[in-house]
Amino acid sequence: MKIGRLFICICLLCLGMVLAAVEPKDFAGSWEGSSDTPNGSDAITLTLELKGGTWTGRMRDSIGLVPDIEVTNVQINEQTITFSISINYAEAGGSLDVSFSMELKEDTLSGTWSTFDGSTGAISLQKKS
């Protein structure tokens, strides 16, 4: 009988640890950091918000390529977030779509960005609020 109760307690404790690991709300807020670009490092600000079950967001950078752009196609799966932005970019024929995939570890989002032509770079952001 005591072994059965101990087993149930251990199972409940493990379940609580799994459920508390990362919640979607942990992605909400303001994030700041940098991204590697073909022109060097670029300071990035990302804001994410959950509105009525839908994720919205805005991104901007320090060099002006991303002046304050809407984040689209936001998907969160456990500790990973993916989203896209569309940059008004004459050299790409009008716009350049950039996809992001990042993993949340504590208060840091880190991962990569990529474009249709295979260009990629690293990005790392720390949560500010």
* pLDDT band of 21, cuts 50, 70, 90: very low
Residue 71 reports pLDDT greater than 60: yes
| pLDDT for 10 | 46
Question: Which residue, chain included where needed, has tokens 């950091």?
Answer: 33
Helix/strand/coil for 96? strand
pLDDT at 77: 92
Q: What is the pLDDT of residue 88?
A: 85
**What percent of the chain shows pLDDT beyond 70?**
80
User: Is residue 1 domain-resident?
Assistant: no
Domain limits at 31? Answer: 23-127
Do the domain assignments include residue 18? no
- Is residue 33 in some structural domain? yes
15 belongs to a structural domain:
no
CA distances from 88 to 96, 98, 114 (A): 6, 11, 16
Residue 45 in domain: yes
- Say how many domains are in the chain: 1
Q: Is the residue at 118 inside a domain?
A: yes
Tens of pLDDT along 104-119?
999 999 999 999 889 9
Residue 11 lies in a domain: no
pLDDT at 18: 41
Segment (H or E) for 55: strand 54-61
CATH number for the domain spanning 28: value is: 2.40.128.20
